[in-house]
């Protein structure tokens, strides 16, 4: 039902990747290169919201590039954050990632290649995302005998401006969540990192865009794609007078709606998930619950980094509130967001977990990415 044999990586459509920073090696400067270095944990991470930012850039500033990775897992069965060295090759339209077992001997072996439902027909991931898949076999380096590889997929996107990008890698070949990781970053393609409205501010801003990701499972193998519509709003200085330091008074709201789930062949399985929820919870949902940011102070800092918690709930036919998903969101703002600016953009990652109603005793993890820009009436 939810078991799948392969792994997918999503990447942006080449036409939308002008100034694609994955085309050159990242040397730690301001050119935003393609190969992200293996992260070293920040010895003194700055707390944002209910936790600290993911590892990566140790000295962030408003006018610099920022790179963030999924934190490395600590247990023997915790595969979080093992993926590193993400690299996209625009010449061959292929993708490379290091740190994962049996995925084609990256970064010099067989690369991840573009996934389509049929020749010339992309997966239904939205206009900004595309999919890449690890190889199914790799030859023995001595005899040439084929060695079956584990199922790997990933999501990759670069914004139209080239200021932001993200990648997500997951595998469906383990009984638990398996090994993977994500990266999201702000590239400094000119002298601007981020410019925020000066405090005190009485202004608000609305951003819209697409959301896409991967679902994996704990208690069952398999992978699924997920898409949705992303909206974020910021009330600059909304909690004025209630907290310190600077920027802690900014309020951030966000939603992911119209989520659709697809199997690895591109077949929409959303109705199956919704039907299982309705059966178990005596509900009458017509779609997946909306993911919502929890609103409160202390989620945005002066460098344009945002972190907070997110969840989804719904009411059943008895009027009882049911919790469906719980997790965290992480984001970085880029560009000029001031009244005299060009609008700016935001890149982010969402990770939530919930009980898989189609397979009792199993949990699912949804890892999604988004890039949103200033909404236009």
* 236 contacts 154 by C-beta, under 8 angstroms: no
Of the pLDDT bands very low, low, confident and very high (cuts 50, 70, 90), residue 89 is: confident
- Please state whether 274 falls in left (phi above 0), alpha (psi between -120 and 50) or beta: alpha
Dihedrals phi, psi of 61, to nearest 5 degrees: -150, 160
pLDDT at 119: 82
Token pair for 310: 């997110």
pLDDT at 53: 79
What confidence score (pLDDT) does residue 374 get? 95
Q: Are 166 and 183 in contact (CB under 8 A)?
A: yes
Q: What share of the chain is helix, strand, coil (3-state, %, to 5)?
A: 5, 45, 50
Give yes or no for residue 23 having a pLDDT over 90: no
> How far, rounded to the nearest angstrom, does the alpha carbon of residue 261 sit from its chain's CA centroid?
15
- The residue that leads in pLDDT, 74 or 292, is 292
Residue 35 has what pLDDT? Answer: 38
Confidence (pTM): 0.86
* Residue bearing the bigger pLDDT, 328 or 27: 328
Q: Is the pLDDT of residue 364 over 50?
A: yes
Closest CA to 152 of 203, 111, 92: 111
Domains of the chain, residue spans: 8-186+203-374
Say if residue 121's pLDDT is above 80. Answer: yes
CA atoms within 13 A on the CB side of 269: 18
Mean pLDDT calculated for residue range 345-351: 97
Q: d(Cα 349, Cα 184) in Å, to the nearest integer?
A: 7
Q: Is the peptide bond before 245 cis (omega within 30 degrees of 0)?
A: yes
Look-up: residue for tokens 């700055």? 46
Residue with the bigger pLDDT between 131 and 297: it is: 297
Is it the case that residue 25 has pLDDT exceeding 80? Answer: no
For 75, 128, 139, 182, 187, the CA distances from 10, given in Å and listed in that order, are 28, 9, 25, 12, 19
Q: Which residue has the higher pLDDT, 126 or 22?
A: 126
Q: Which long-range contacts (CB under 8 A, 24 or more apart) does 283-287 make?
A: 283/314, 283/315, 283/316, 283/317, 283/322, 284/317, 285/314, 287/258, 287/259
Widest CA span in the chain: 70
Q: β-strand 8-10 against 152-158: which pairing, if any?
A: parallel
Q: For residue 163, what pLDDT band results from cuts at 50, 70 and 90?
A: very high
As a whole number, the mean pLDDT across the chain is 85
Q: What pLDDT was estimated at residue 46?
A: 32
């Amino acid at each position: 039902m939810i078991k799948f044999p392969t792994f997918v990586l999503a990447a942006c459509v080449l036409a939308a990747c002008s100034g694609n920073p994955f085309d050159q090696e990242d040397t730690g400067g301001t050119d935003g290169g393609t190969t992200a270095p293996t992260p070293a944990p920040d010895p003194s991470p700055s707390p944002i919201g209910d936790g600290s930012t993911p590892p990566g850039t140790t000295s962030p500033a408003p006018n610099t590039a920022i790179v963030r990775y999924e934190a490395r897992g600590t247990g023997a069965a915790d595969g979080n954050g093992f993926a590193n060295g993400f690299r996209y090759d625009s010449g061959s339209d292929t993708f490379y990632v290091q740190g994962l077992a049996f995925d084609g001997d990256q970064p010099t072996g067989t690369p991840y290649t573009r996934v389509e439902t049929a020749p010339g027909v992309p997966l239904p991931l939205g206009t900004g995302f595309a999919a890449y898949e690890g190889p199914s076999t790799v030859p023995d380096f001595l005899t040439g005998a084929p060695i079956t590889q584990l199922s790997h997929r990933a999501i990759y996107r670069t914004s139209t401006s080239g200021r932001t990008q993200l990648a997500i890698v997951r595998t469906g070949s383990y009984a638990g969540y398996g090994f993977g990781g994500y990266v999201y970053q702000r590239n400094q393609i000119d002298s601007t990192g981020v410019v925020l409205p000066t405090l005190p501010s009485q202004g608000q801003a609305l951003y819209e865009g697409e959301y896409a990701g991967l679902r994996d499972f704990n208690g069952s193998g398999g992978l699924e794609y997920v898409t949705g519509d992303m909206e974020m709003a910021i009330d600059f200085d909304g909690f004025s007078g209630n907290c310190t330091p600077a920027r802690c008074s900014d309020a951030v709201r966000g939603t992911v709606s119209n989520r659709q789930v697809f199997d690895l062949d591109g077949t929409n399985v959303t109705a199956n998930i919704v039907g299982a929820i309705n059966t178990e919870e005596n509900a009458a949902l017509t779609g997946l619950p909306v993911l919502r940011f929890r609103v409160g102070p202390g989620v945005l800092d002066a460098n344009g980094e945002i972190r907070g918690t997110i969840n989804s709930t719904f009411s059943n036919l008895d009027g009882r509130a049911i919790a469906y998903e719980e997790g965290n969101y992480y984001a970085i703002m880029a560009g000029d967001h001031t009244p005299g600016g060009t609008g700016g953009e935001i890149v982010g990652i969402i990770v939530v977990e919930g009980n898989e109603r189609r397979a009792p005793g199993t949990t699912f993890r949804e890892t999604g990415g988004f890039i949103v820009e200033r909404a236009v009436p």
